[in-house]
Amino acid sequence: MHMRQVLMSKDTKPIRTLFSGDFAADIETAKSLIAAYPSVNLHQLMTIAGDPQQPQSSRIASIYTLGFTDDHGLSKTILASLAGDLNESPGIRDHADEALHSIISRH
């Protein structure tokens, strides 16, 4: 499946297949997703970001991507929730907080 097809899909599985579980590779994928915005399905990214069953690097890459989007508040809601959730790892909380501040600083 080509990157463009994956980005445009409404299914939650395709974007997950772009993430490898390797932190450096997942951040590079996030950069590609940011470059493709607004063609990226943000709901897929929010699902991955909030799913503790996903590899942490995939969740962080999704969070990072959300920090560069503008969806009229939905990303801010999930990022604020992750940043304040003490059941999340410090890495998830810190990246969610940074992504949230990125969105806020642009508005």
- Each residue's pLDDT, cut to its tens digit, for the chain (107 residues) gives 344 444 444 444 468 778 888 999 999 999 999 998 888 888 899 999 999 999 999 999 999 999 998 776 888 999 999 999 999 999 999 999 999 999 989 87
Burial of 34 (0-12, 13-18, 19+ CB in 10 A): middle
Domain span holding position 98: 3-105
Say what the pTM is: 0.84
Q: How many domains does the chain have?
A: 1
Which residue matches tokens 């943000």?
42
d(CA 97, CA 41): 21
